[in-house]
Structure 1
C-alpha cells in the first residue's frame, strides 16, 4: 500500500470536510444574526402596534455620516457683509444685529416660502440656513445653520432669527455663524430608523396613541462654549401625541444616546452671554 498517497488523500479529505463545516457554520451564524435582527424588528413593530403608536413612512436607509467640526465666526467691522437698506451692529464679536432702514415685505416668489425667500435674499450666506420654526404669535422665524448639508440643531453660534411687524414687514434680524467645517472622523454606520424607535420606546419616550410624523438626520453639538466645536450625527424624531401636541426627540445616530438639547434659543443666548461676561 502506498502510505504516502493514502496520507495525502486523508489530508485532502479532512481539509474539504473542515471547509464544508466552516461554511455551514458561517451560513448558520449569519442566518442567526439575520433572524435576531428581524426578530427584534418584528418585536418592536408589534409593541408599537399594541400601543397604537403609528407611523406613515420611516426612512429606509443604511446611511453613514462623519463627525464634523466648526469654528465660531468672528465678525470684524471691516468685514461686515454689506446689504443696501441695512444697518448692522456687531455684538460680542460673533453676532450681527441688523435693522432694516425700510422694513421689507414678506412675500412669496415662485412658490417659495416667504421667510426662506427673505433670508436667501437679505442675509449673508442665507442659503446656508434652513427654516426650523415660525412663531406667528411672536412674529419671528428661526433658521438653523447647515453642516454637511444637514440641519445643526439649536446651536447658539449658528442661527438666524428674523422679526416682522403687524403688516408682515421684516424690520430686523440677528445672525451667528459657524465656519471652516471639517470632517473629524471617518464615516460612521448610523442606527436605522426602526432602531431609533426601539431606543425611544425602551426609554418610555413614545407614548400610547401617538404618531411618528417624521424622522430626519441632522447634527447636534457636543460642546457649545468653545471656539472650535464638534458636531455628532443625530436623528430628529417628531411625534404627535394623542392630545394634538407635538414632541421632538433627538438621538445620537452613532451611539444611540438620547441627546438632551436646550430648545429655547433665546435662553441659550442669555445664559451664554452671562457666562462670557
Structure 2
C-alpha cells in the first residue's frame, strides 16, 4: 500500500468535505439575505399583509440580515483627567452622561451636515468620531446621535447636541466600552420584526410605519449590561424594539431623558 498516495487522497477528501460543509452553512445562514429574489418576495408578501391590516409602510426597510452577536457594554464615564486638557467647556458629570456647555458657543456658518457639525465641536468633545446622526429623531434645537459599534447604532448611548440662534450651545454625551460576546449568527429580517408587532397589535390599523433601523439595545439604567441586536420600528411617533434573534419585543426605551421630535 502506497501510504503517501493514500494520505494525499485523504487530505483532498477532507478538504472537499470542509468546502461542502462550509457551503451548506453559507446557504443556510447567509444565502437568504444575499438573495435579492427572496428579499423581494418577502417585501411583496409584507406589502400585501400590511394592506390587509390597513397599515401604511412609509419607510425604507433594510433587506440585509447580517450575522451579529450579543455585546457587553460598560459605562465607565469620562473622567476628570480627560477633561482637564479640554478648553472651552463647562462640564458636569451625571450618572450615565457628561453634560457640557460650550464657552463660548460655536457659531454655525451656513448649511452643514451633522458630521461636519461634530467636527466643528472638535477638541471640545471626546470620541466624537464614534457617533452617527439620527436625523429622524432630531429637530432644529437638538441633533441626536448614537454611539456606533461596527457601524451599527447603540440605542442606549446617545449624544445630544443643543443648538440655538445659529450656534452650538453644548451637548450631553453617553459613552460605553463595548465588547462582542459569543458567536455571531444571522438575525431575523426587518419584515418579520414588523409583522410581529402587527400580529401582537402593537401596530394598529390606520397607523403609519415611519422608520426601520437596525441597532443594539439593552437595559438603559444598568452600568454593566448586555446588548442585543434589535430592529427599531417607529410608527405614528411611537418606537418599539424587536430582538433580532428571538423576535420578542423589548421594553420601551426611557424617553424622558432624550425627547423625540
- The two structures have a TM-score, normalised by structure 2, of 0.70
Match of 2:214 in 1: 217
Question: RMSD of the alignment, in Å?
Answer: 3.3
In the aligned structure 2, how far is the partner of 1:238 from the partner of 1:119? 30
In the aligned structure 1, how far is the partner of 2:256 from the partner of 2:84? 24
Is the 1:141–1:163 Cα contact (8 Å) retained in structure 2? yes
SS at match of 2:252: coil
Is the 2:106–2:121 Cα contact (8 Å) retained in structure 1? no
- The two structures have a TM-score, normalised by structure 1, of 0.66
Alpha carbons of 1:68 and 1:266: their partners in 2 closer, same or farther (altered >3 Å)?
Answer: same
Q: 1:75 aligns with which of 45, 70, 78?
A: 78
Pairing 1:260–2:259 present: no
SS at match of 2:250: coil
In the aligned structure 1, how far is the partner of 2:99 from the partner of 2:208? 39
Pairing 1:134–2:125 present: no
In the aligned structure 1, how far is the partner of 2:159 from the partner of 2:43? 40
Is the 1:116–1:131 Cα contact (8 Å) retained in structure 2? no
Match of 1:84 in 2: 87
Is the 2:239–2:252 Cα contact (8 Å) retained in structure 1? no
Size of the aligned set, in residue pairs, is 218
Q: How does 1:55-74 map to 2 (within 5 A)?
A: 55=57, 57-74=60-77
SS at match of 1:141: strand
Pairing 1:48–2:43 present: no
Q: 2:103 aligns with which of 101, 108, 112?
A: 101
Per-residue CA deviations over 1:106-134 (Å, capped at 9, x if unaligned) read: 3456x523654545664211121222332
Is the 2:220–2:253 Cα contact (8 Å) retained in structure 1? no
Q: How does 1:158-197 map to 2 (within 5 A)?
A: 158-165=157-164, 167-179=165-177, 181-197=178-194
SS at match of 2:85: coil
Offset of residue 164 of structure 1? 3.0
Offset of residue 81 of structure 1? 6.2
Is the 2:91–2:100 Cα contact (8 Å) retained in structure 1? yes
Pairing 1:112–2:109 present: no
Per-residue CA deviations over 1:19-45 (Å, capped at 9, x if unaligned) read: xxxxxxxxxxxxxxx9xxx99987755
Q: 1:152 aligns with which of 151, 154, 157?
A: 154
Match of 2:203 in 1: 206
Larger Rg: 1
In the aligned structure 1, how far is the partner of 2:209 from the partner of 2:221? 29
In the aligned structure 2, how far is the partner of 1:40 from the partner of 1:101? 52
Per-residue CA deviations over 1:222-267 (Å, capped at 9, x if unaligned) read: 46323x221100001123x4xxxx2322101111111122342528
Offset of residue 217 of structure 1? 0.7
Pairing 1:236–2:232 present: yes
